Amino acid sequence: MTKGQGFGFGLGKMKELTEAFKKAQQIQEGAKQLQVDLEQMEIEGQAGGGLVKVVVSGNQEPRRVVIAPEALNEGAELLSELVTTAMKDAYQKSTDTMRERMEELTGGLDLPSL
pLDDT digits (tens, 9 = 90+) for 6-29: 555 566 678 888 887 888 888 888
- Domain limits of the chain? 11-106
What pLDDT was estimated at residue 8? 57
Evaluate if pTM is beyond 0.75: no
Topology of domain 11-106, per CATH?
Ybab; Chain: A; (3.30.1310)
How many CB atoms neighbour CB 76 within 10 A?
8
| Predicted confidence (pLDDT) per residue in 22-69, tens digit | 888 888 888 898 899 999 999 999 999 999 999 999 989 999 999 999
